Structure 1
Amino acid sequence: MLSVGVAVAAFTAATAGGLVRGMSGFGGSLVMMPLLSMIASPKYVVAPVLLLEAFAVVPVLRHFIGRAQWRVVTPICVAAFAALPFGAYALFNADPSLVRRAIGFIVLLFALALPSGVRYEGPPRLPMSVALGLLSGVLLGGTGIGGPPVILYLLSGSSPSAITRANLMITVMAISVAALALLWVRGVLRVDGPMPLWLLAPGYVLGLSAGMRLFALVDERRFRRATLGFMVAIAAVTLLA
């Protein structure tokens, strides 16, 4: 049974994640994973966070399927699928505090790399796609955060922003579903676990709806800078906790 304080903290974390996702189109898991992993063991947090992030994509998925560059997306996804079990092994066997600090480190690295302009230079190539897919799969299986390497990689291409966004959405959705299937096999994909979905979902939906409404009212660049600063603060707390 969750205490009132823990329940409020979890609900607030989910709302913050939904707000960031609704405003920026990404970053929900980067906010929720470090915050929720300080409340419960990461192995019980990954599944509900992935479910919430997948929920945000499903309604618009059909708009991206026809725009995605499958020759770019497919090798990344296949490599990620192959690497997921190795990350999951670490998630279930490593010390939870070590996994939590790994989550904080990934969030910190991404929050600093994104505005600095660090990117892979050149068109997507098969060896690099496979390597990034393997890295993404290990990170997703082990920490619930597998998107940053793929985001930085795909943003470096010369494709129009609509195609890049489609590539990102399809890739993240595909590897998230594969990770959920793996977690279901391991028996941690539950709606009533230590971090219950019925508690997180209302907060996430509330934040997502508010973020989508605020998108047209708030300066996007300022919001993204504030979000990245927020992520740095979250990561620092996670690393020091």
Structure 2
Amino acid sequence: MEIVTFMAGEAGPAALWFAAFAVALAFFLRGFAGFGASLLSVSALSLIWPPVEVVPVIFLLEVLASAVLLPGAFAHVNWRALFWMFAGMVVATPLGLALLMALPAAAMALVIQAGVACAALALLAGIGPKHAPGKAASAATGLAVGGLNGAAAIGGPPAVLFFFSVPGREEMARASLIGFFLGTDLVAAGFAAWNGLYGSLEAWRFAFLAPVMVAAAFAGAHVFTRVDKALVRKVALIGLCLLALVGLMRGLMT
């Protein structure tokens, strides 16, 4: 009982059930489409716990999710695109951090989220590339990911748009996003550990939420194998629009 009280914090024991439900929904989407868990989880759990206690745990859950999903998706990952994307990201992240220091971060995040929503809507409407992007587009996406991640901590949407930009590549898109987020979340978790953000509270919450996350991620992956892949692309792009709208609402309310 003492452990439950410790994990729940001031929000009370019911907070743990809320957290488990939110994580289950978020990581079902992760298992199904390959992305979306972080923003949904952080948005929900920040209602009951301080973000500084939430974000480090989500990093660990994301790493574990990628680790359990990657074996089933490994053969479909576009490793060449990921290589060029990570190369661009390494170059652009310091530039994004420089922008963060020079421009209002809140206003920048609102503009980016609005742009992501518009781009996703355009792809849903059939406006976009008809052929698989090459290494130049991969590197350019990496530059966008690094710049946006450094400037506003929202580097994921460009990668989602990139991989789901062309119809008919849904299995590759999902698999590549699983590999992509494994790399980015390992780095993020490493920085969180370096800055002393992990303690006994985070360890207990991770231990409590990890089985829920694994079950939900596998359930999402199971559904993915049994639906029309064109539906997966639509769900991914609609989900990206909704996530961008959530980001917009959070930005307008803060």
Contact 2:34 2:174 in 1 (8 A): no
Cα deviation for residue 149 of structure 1 reads: 0.2
Q: Could you say which residue in structure 2 is the equivalent of 1:14?
A: 23
TM-score by length of 2: 0.66
Q: Percent identity?
A: 26
Q: Could you say which residue in structure 2 is the equivalent of 1:198?
A: 207
Q: Could you say which residue in structure 2 is the equivalent of 1:72?
A: 81
Q: Could you say which residue in structure 2 is the equivalent of 1:186?
A: 195
Distance 2:99 2:18 in 1: 26
* Residues 1:124 and 2:133 are matched in the alignment: yes
TM-score by length of 1: 0.69
RMSD between superposed Cα atoms in Å: 4.4
* Residues 1:114 and 2:95 are matched in the alignment: no
Q: Could you say which residue in structure 2 is the equivalent of 1:3?
A: 11
Aligned-partner residue type, residue 164 of structure 2: L
Contact 1:46 1:144 in 2 (8 A): no
Unaligned runs of 5+ in 2: 1-8
Q: Structure 1, residues 178-218: CA drift from partner, whole Å, max 9, x if none?
A: 22222222222456249932344344335335545555788
Q: 1:212 to 1:200 in 2, by over 3 A?
A: same
Cα deviation for residue 74 of structure 1 reads: 0.8
Q: 1:182 to 1:236 in 2, by over 3 A?
A: closer
Distance 1:136 1:226 in 2: 20
Q: Could you say which residue in structure 2 is the equivalent of 1:168?
A: 177
Distance 2:82 2:183 in 1: 10
Larger Rg: 2
Cα deviation for residue 69 of structure 1 reads: 3.6
Distance 2:92 2:49 in 1: 25
Aligned residue runs from structure 1 range 47-66, under 5 A: 47-66=56-75
Aligned pair count reads 236
Q: Could you say which residue in structure 2 is the equivalent of 1:146?
A: 155
- What secondary structure, in the 3-state scheme, does the structure 2 residue paired with 1:187 have? coil
- What secondary structure, in the 3-state scheme, does the structure 1 residue paired with 2:201 have? coil
Distance 2:114 2:212 in 1: 24
Distance 2:114 2:43 in 1: 10
